[in-house]
Structure 1
Amino acid sequence: MSSPEIASLSWGRMTVKGCSTTYKDCKVWPGGSRTWDWRETGTNPQLFSLPASLKVPSSTVDYLKKHGIDVLVLQTEMAVKEYNALAAQGAKVGGVFHSTC
């Protein structure tokens, strides 16, 4: 399975190639995509008053690295560019994207 291309990104809106859904927050992985539901992990978006406040905890990065998963934490526009570049190279890549930061 290949990782789907993120076809477009604008403030509050993302589309994934081959998917008719428009996302605000999105998870993508080899073979699919879906809405990122903040409530699944107990994340409360009201806790973040400024876009720069949305952070990935170091414990999350450490956990992924410990399990052999390469991790990049980037601002959304840069993350989409990097994700699409890796996907275009055939890498099995996934991501979690928040389009309003």
Structure 2
Amino acid sequence: MVPASPRIRSVSWGSITVEGFGDFKDVKIWPGGAREWDWNETATRHFPGIQPADVEELLAAGATVVVLSRGMQERLGVPAQTLARLERAGVEVHVAETKAAVRRYNELAGTAAVAGLFHSTC
């Protein structure tokens, strides 16, 4: 059985609070867990954006839905290769500005094995 996805309690410029896990600038969140999203691990930058390697941990945790945030000013890209990786895995994908992405994630958290990547600044 896949554990429940933790809810995001709040989001503001530079800060995301995940219930039971604390505060982050950027966060990876999945069923049963959350941690700081360190862009240096996968050489993620605003352009081209979220790398396919960034979503592997989410898939390994059993996510069936993934929410990707593009930042508060939507400056974080989401390349076709990343979307293709998620499509090959058969997961439902939502891409949105950070506050909208958090709302969508929290709507899904009680009903699906949802995971996400959230960028709290630009």
Task: Describe the superposition over 1:35-66 as per-residue Cα deviations: whole angstroms up to 9, x where unpaired.
Answer: 00001111235989xx4331110111011101
2:116 to 90, 95, 98: 95
Query: Contact conserved, 1:38 with 1:45, CA < 8 A, in 2?
Result: no
Q: Does 1:39 align with 2:49?
A: no
Alpha-carbon spacing, 1:45–1:62, altered in 2? closer, same or farther (3 Å): closer
Q: After TM superposition, which residue ranges in structure 1, 4 or more long, deviate above 2 angstroms?
A: 44-48
Greater share of helix residues, 1 or 2?
Answer: 1
The percent identity for this pair of structures is: 48
Question: Given the two structures, how large is their TM-score scaled by the length of structure 1?
Answer: 0.87
* Bigger radius of gyration among the two: 1
Higher RCO (CA-CA < 8 Å; seq separation 6+):
1
Letter in 1 for 2:94: L
Greater share of strand residues, 1 or 2?
Answer: 2
2:105 to 79, 83, 101: 83
Question: Given the two structures, how large is their TM-score scaled by the length of structure 2?
Answer: 0.73
Structure 2: runs of 5 or more not aligned:
50-72
For residues 1-101 of structure 1, what are the structure 2 equivalents within 5 Å? 1-19=3-21, 21-44=22-45, 51-89=73-111, 91-101=112-122
Query: Contact conserved, 1:6 with 1:17, CA < 8 A, in 2?
Result: yes
Find the aligned partners of 1:45 and 1:34 in 2 and give their Cα distance: 20
Aligned length: 97
